[in-house]
Each structure stands twice: as C-alpha cells, then as structure tokens.
Amino acid sequence: MSLVSLNTFENIMPQIGVHMSKKLYKIGELAELYGISTDIIRHYDKIGLFQPNTIRENGYRYYSIDQVYELELILNLRSVDMSLEDIKNVMHQKK
C-alpha cells in the first residue's frame, strides 16, 4: 500500500461528497473507498486504534465523516511502515 496520492484523493472525495449528507458510513463502505478488507478495519477496532462511532444492535459498525479522514491517516502511516502501536500513540495524542 502506498501513500494516498492527490489523484487517489481526488477520486475518493467525489465518492464521499456524494454521500456528504450521510452522517454515518458502514464498515463495508469505508473498506471499499480505500480498497481494504473489512477485516483490517475490524482489527484496528480490536486493538483500539480505530473504533466505530456507533455499533447498532444488529452488530453493524458505523463511522462518521471525520473518521474517514482518520482512517486515511492511519493507512498513510502504515504505508511508510509505521507500526500500529506507534500509529495508536500518534492518534491518541491527536485527540
């Protein structure tokens, strides 16, 4: 995986923009936007790195638009081989 390039960002933003009125995004929608598996996002949740905004009674995970940008940062940091533990520290300092 490489850094999200401007070209990729420009491709992703219209997809997000179409749904800007949405308040929450399903795990599958985020995975599809970034070309990753839902298992990766679930793993990030399990280790406390990237947790859903809401988990409904049916078990579905939902993420806010702000979390779309958080996931992008996490994926970019992973692409430069930053460890998940280091990313977790960065993300928790950011909040």
Q: Is residue 28 part of a domain?
A: yes
Q: Is residue 44 part of a domain?
A: yes
The pTM for the full model equals: 0.74
Q: Is residue 1 part of a domain?
A: no
- Give the separation between CA 62 and CA 41, rounded to whole angstroms: 11
Q: Is residue 24 part of a domain?
A: yes
Determine the distance from the C-alpha atom of residue 37 to the mean position of all C-alpha atoms in its chain, rounded to a whole number.
11
Q: Is residue 59 part of a domain?
A: yes
Domain extent for 53:
6-94
Q: Is residue 21 part of a domain?
A: yes
Look at the chain and report how many structural domains it folds into.
Answer: 1
Q: Is residue 13 part of a domain?
A: yes
Q: Is residue 77 part of a domain?
A: yes
Strand order in the sheet with 61-64: 24-26, 61-64, 54-55
pLDDT by residue (tens digit) across 35-93?
Answer: 999 999 999 999 999 999 999 999 999 999 889 889 999 999 999 999 999 999 988 88
pLDDT at 14: 44
